[in-house]
Amino acid sequence: MLTTLLSALIIFLLSTIMMVMASILSKKTFVDREKSSPFECGFDPKSSARLPFSLQFFLIAVIFLIFDVEIVLLIPLVPTMSLSNMSSFLLVSTLFLIILLGGLYHEWNQGALKWMS
Tens digits of residue pLDDT in 31-89 = 666 666 666 566 666 666 667 777 778 888 888 888 888 888 888 888 888 888 888 88
pTM of the model: 0.48
Task: Give dist(CA 59, CA 67) in Å, integer.
Answer: 12
Cα dihedral 41→42→45→50 (10° resolution): 70
- The answer to whether 49 and 38 are in contact (CB under 8 A) is yes
pLDDT band at 12, cuts 50/70/90? very high
**Which range, 5-14, 44-53, 80-89, 105-114, has the best average confidence (pLDDT)?**
5-14
Residue 66 DSSP symbol? H
